[in-house]
Amino acid sequence: MNKNIELQDLGLKDYKQTWEYQETLFRGIVDAKIKNRREEAGLETKNHFLFVEHPHVYTLGKSGDMSNLLVDEAQLKEKNASFYKVNRGGDITYHGPGQIVGYPILDLDNFFTDIHKYLRFLEEMIILTLAEYGLKAERSSGETGVWLDVGTPFARKICAMGVRASRWVTMHGFALNVNANLGYFDLMIPCGIRGKAVTSLNVELGKQEVDETEVKAKLLKHFSNLFEAEFIEKS
Catalytic status, residue 191:
yes
**Helix, coil or strand: residue 134:** coil
Report d(CA 234, CA 168) in Å as an integer. 23
Residue 6 — φ and ψ, nearest 5°? -75, 120
Nearest Cα to Cα of residue 15 among 172, 215, 158: 172
**Helix, coil or strand: residue 178:** coil
CB 220 within 8 A of CB 7: yes
Report d(CA 143, CA 114) in Å as an integer. 19
Strand pairing of 82-85 and 48-53? unpaired
Residues 6+ apart with CB under 8 A from 164: 87, 88, 89, 170, 171, 172
- Of residues 146, 158, 180, 191, which has the active-site annotation? 191
Q: Left if phi > 0, otherwise alpha if psi is -120 to 50, otherwise beta: which for 90?
A: left
**Helix, coil or strand: residue 45:** coil
Q: Which residues are catalytic?
A: 191
